[in-house]
Structure 1
Amino acid sequence: MRLYAQTPARRTRQILADLIAAALIYAAVKLALVVHDAIGRLADPGRKAESAGNSLSGGLHDAGEAASKVPFVGGQLKRQLGSAADAGTGLADAGRSLQDTVGHVATLTTVVLIVIPVLFVLLLWLPPRVRWIRRSAVTQRLAAGPGGADILALRVLTGSQRALAAVPAPPGGLAEAWRRGDEQVIADLAAIGMRQAGLRA
C-alpha cells in the first residue's frame, strides 16, 4: 500500500494537504485548551468561597466548643455558634458546586471545540486520501497483472481526451492502434494511466 504518489507534483500536493490538516487539528486542540483554561479561571471565586466557608465553619465550631464551657449559657452559645458554622459549611458547599459547574462547562466546551473542527477537517481531507490510496493500489495490481497495460490503455482511451494529446496518433487513430495491439501506443497510453494515478510507469 502506497501512502504518497510517485509523481512529484501530486506527491507535493498530498504532503501539503497532510500538513495543512495536521496544522488545523493542532490549532483546534490548542484553541480548545486555551478556552478550557480561560473558563477554568471562572472557578476561582468558588475556590475562595469554599476556602472561606471551611475556615469560617472550623473557626465557629472551635468557638462553640470553647463557649460550651461558659457556665449557664455555654450550651446556648454553642448552639448559636453551631448554626453559624452550618452557614459557613453552606458557603463552602456553594463554592464546590460552582467549581463543579465551571469544570463541566469547561470540559464540554473543550470537547465541542475539538470534535467539530477535527471532524470537519477529517471529512474534507481523509476521503480523498483513502480513495487515492485504494485507486493507486488497484492501478498497481492492474499494471503488474497479465494484460494490465491493455486495460490501463483502454481506461485512458475512454477517459479525458486531453490526456491523449501527448500521444502521437498513428494512422487510423489511437483506438484502432489499441485494437491492433500496437505495443508502443499501448505502452504510451498505459504510462499516461499510471501518471494519472500518481505512479511511475
Structure 2
Amino acid sequence: MRLYAQTPARRTRQVLADLVAVVLIYAAVRLALAVRDAIMLLAEPGREAESAGTGLSDGLDDAGDAASKVPFVGDQLKKPLTSAADAGTGLADAGRSLQDAVEHVATLTAVALIVIPTVFVLLLWLPPRLRWIRRSTATRHLAAGPGGADLLALRVLTSHSQRELAAMPAPPGGLAAAWRRGDEQVIAALAEVGLRRAGLRA
C-alpha cells in the first residue's frame, strides 16, 4: 500500500494537505487547553472559600475545645462555637463544590473544542486520502496483471474527456483504432497517462 503519490505535483499536494490537517488539529488542541486554563481561573473564588471555611472551622473548633475547659460554663460556651465551626465547614464544602463544577465545565469545553474541529478536519481530509490509496492500489494491481497495459489504456479511452484525448498525439485513424489494432506504442502511452493520473509512474 502506497501512502503518497510517485508524481511530484500530486505528492506535494498530499504532503501539504497532511501538514495542514496536522497543524489544524494541533491548533485545536492548543486552543482547547488555553480555554480550559481560562475557565479554571473561575475556580479561584472556590479555592479561597474552601481555604477560608477550613481555617474558620479549625479555629472555632480549637476555640470550642479551649472554652469547654472553663469550669461550670464550658459546655454552654462550646456549643455556639461548634455551630459556627459547622458553618465554616459548610463554606469549605461550597468552595469545593464550586471548584468541581468549574473543572467539569472546563473539561467538557476542552473536549468539545478538540473533538469537533478534529472530526471536521478528518472528514475533509481522510476520505480523499483513503480514496486515493484505494484507487492507486487498484491501478497498480491492474497494471501489474496480465493485459494490464491494455486495460489501463481502455480505461483512459473511456474515462478521459474528448478534449484531453485530442491533446494526445494520435496515429492515423485515432487512438481508439490504434488500441483495437494493438499498437504497442499507443497502448503504452495511454497506460502511462492512466498511471500518471493516479499519481504513479510507469
Q: 1:142 maps to what in 2? A: 142
Quote how far apart the aligned CAs of 1:101 are.
Answer: 0.1
After superposition, residues 1-201 of structure 1 pair within 5 angstroms as 1-161=1-161, 162-201=163-202
Question: 2:27 is paired with a residue of what secondary structure?
Answer: helix
Q: TM-score, normalised by structure 2?
A: 0.97
Provide the C-alpha distance between the structure 2 equivalents of 1:74 and 1:172, rounded to a whole number of angstroms.
Answer: 119
Whether the aligned pair in 2 keeps the contact of 1:52 and 1:92 (CA below 8 Å) is yes
Quote how far apart the aligned CAs of 1:163 are.
Answer: 3.2
Provide the C-alpha distance between the structure 2 equivalents of 1:107 and 1:198, rounded to a whole number of angstroms.
Answer: 43
Q: TM-score, normalised by structure 1?
A: 0.98
Question: 2:13 is paired with a residue of what secondary structure?
Answer: helix
Quote how far apart the aligned CAs of 1:176 are.
Answer: 1.0
Provide the C-alpha distance between the structure 2 equivalents of 1:9 and 1:189, rounded to a whole number of angstroms.
Answer: 20
Quote how far apart the aligned CAs of 1:166 are.
Answer: 4.2
- The one-letter amino acid of 2:113's match is L
Q: How many residues align?
A: 201
- The one-letter amino acid of 1:197's match is A
- The one-letter amino acid of 1:130's match is L
Instruction: Indicate the RMSD between aligned Cα atoms, in angstroms.
Output: 0.8
Quote how far apart the aligned CAs of 1:160 are.
Answer: 2.1
Structure 2 spans left out of the alignment, 5+ residues: none
Provide the C-alpha distance between the structure 2 equivalents of 1:81 and 1:71, rounded to a whole number of angstroms.
Answer: 17
Provide the C-alpha distance between the structure 1 equivalents of 2:144 and 2:165, rounded to a whole number of angstroms.
Answer: 22
**C-alpha distance after superposition, 1:144-198 (max 9, x if no partner):** 1110001100110011224323431112111111111111100000000000000
**C-alpha distance after superposition, 1:12-31 (max 9, x if no partner):** 10000000000000000000
Provide the C-alpha distance between the structure 2 equivalents of 1:186 and 1:166, rounded to a whole number of angstroms.
Answer: 16
